[in-house]
């Protein structure tokens, strides 16, 4: 086996090992976050101010869509 192909093989093996590591780490992270959300759901709720802003934004969108629907039916 030539020096170049040996180096390439080593590189490919390391790359594959790294891909597996990243995949396993990401899976574990997602499981951790899901468990944390189940145990402490209050940590993941938006603040009351953010909730109010979201409600206002959604109400504004609904009004726009209702207006557009009214104009479209005329």
pTM of the model: 0.50
Q: Is 25 found in the same domain as 1?
A: yes
Distance of CA 42 to the CA centre of its chain: 19
Structural domain of 51: 46-74
Task: Give 74's DSSP letter.
Answer: -
H-only helix segments in the chain: 3-39, 48-73
Q: Is 33 found in the same domain as 61?
A: no
pLDDT computed for residue 72 by the predictor: 82
Q: Residue 42 in 3-state DSSP? A: helix
- Averaged pLDDT in 10-residue chunks for the chain of 74 residues: 80 96 98 94 87 96 94 78
pLDDT tens for residues 26-46?
999 999 999 999 999 888 888
Q: Is 33 found in the same domain as 2?
A: yes
Q: Is 50 found in the same domain as 35?
A: no
Measured distance CA(68)–CA(60) in Å, rounded? 12
Distance of CA 55 to the CA centre of its chain: 22
Q: Total domain count for the chain?
A: 2
Q: Is 11 found in the same domain as 32?
A: yes
pLDDT computed for residue 5 by the predictor: 87
Q: Is 53 found in the same domain as 27?
A: no
């Amino acid at each position: 086996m030539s020096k170049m192909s040996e180096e390439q093989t080593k590189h490919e093996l390391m790359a594959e090992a790294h891909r597996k590591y990243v995949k396993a780490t990401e899976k574990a992270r997602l499981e951790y976050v899901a468990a944390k959300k189940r145990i402490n759901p209050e940590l993941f709720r938006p603040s009351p101010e953010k909730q109010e802003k979201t409600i206002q934004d959604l109400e504004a969108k609904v009004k726009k869509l209702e207006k557009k629907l009214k104009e479209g039916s005329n």
